[in-house]
Chains A and B, each alone.
Chain A
Amino acid sequence: MQQLSIEAGRRTGSPFAAGPYQLTPETIVLSLRWGNAGLVWNWPVALHISHAGGAQRVAIVDRTRLALWALWLLTALAGLTIVFARLKPRRRKNE
């Protein structure tokens, strides 16, 4: 039996220099491995910026993903409405 391994969590990468700034990437990684098959999903969440004046964490917001989640939620709600609307007349008939 092949073993399934699942890993998910935040990861911080190696810092790199860009001009006067030192940048450290932060991502969320979901990885699945099952025998000779695997899936990796990696998306950026923030960038740690350090410079002579101090350090800050800049969040990376995925606006496309947010919009898609909102639209998928609307679609699911509409789907549920259709299901309930079709179930209700049947219940009335049975009563």
Chain B
Amino acid sequence: MSDTQDGLIAMVVKNSEQAADLIGRLFSVAEPGAVFSAPLTTGERTIIVASELVITMGVGFGSGSGPADNNTGPSTGGGGGGGGYSFGRPVAAIIIEPQGVRVEPIVDPTKIAIAMFTALGAMFFAWGSMRKLAGGR
């Protein structure tokens, strides 16, 4: 095997190890402490925000070798790519006061409005279909 191929394989192995390490670090988000913010104190009141978190990630590498077109020796090549998505949404604020602890829900009206319009559209078409059916056509 040529030095070029050895180097390429070593590089791919190193990159794969780094990718595995990166994916391993992704799982630190699975710790319960990750969804609760650091306590923020103002006067006698302390506020902690609890959020929903979604993180997804993927990486891949590949390499290959074959004879060169002009028979000058083996030809090698390799490449890699990756992608990911992360999302966080506050769910509730935990308010700690001298009187006690209370949880205030945080509602996302935009998300609800979008889902509501989809549901209304579907219900409108369902109503139309039922009217057609009742008419016997």
Q: Which residues of A are interface residues toward B (Cβ below 8 A)?
A: 7, 11-14, 16, 18-19, 21, 23, 25-27, 29, 31, 33, 36-44, 47, 49, 58-65, 67-68, 71-72, 74-75, 77-79, 81-82, 85-86, 88-89
Given known contacts A68-B115, A82-B125, A85-B133, is B53 in contact with A13 (CB within 8 Å)? no
Nearest 10 A/B pairs, CB to CB: A13-B32, A37-B58, A85-B129, A78-B122, A78-B126, A44-B50, A81-B126, A71-B115, A39-B56, A43-B52
Per-residue A-contact encoding for B78-119, CB less than 8 Å = 1, 0 else: 000000000001011010100001010111100110011011
Q: Do B33 and A40 touch across chains, with their CB atoms under 8 A apart?
A: no
Contact partners of A36 in chain B: CB under 8 A: 16, 19-20, 23, 58-60
Contact partners of A79 in chain B: CB under 8 A: 122, 126
Residue of B nearest to A74 (CB): B119
Residue of A nearest to B116 (CB): A71
How distant is the Cα of A21 from the Cα of B106 in the complex, in angstroms?
A: 23
How distant is the Cα of A14 from the Cα of B34 in the complex, in angstroms?
A: 11
- What are 23 of the A-B contact pairs (CB < 8 Å)? A12-B32, A13-B36, A21-B96, A25-B32, A29-B32, A37-B57, A39-B55, A40-B53, A41-B54, A42-B34, A42-B35, A43-B35, A44-B35, A47-B36, A64-B91, A64-B107, A71-B116, A77-B126, A78-B123, A79-B122, A82-B125, A85-B132, A89-B137
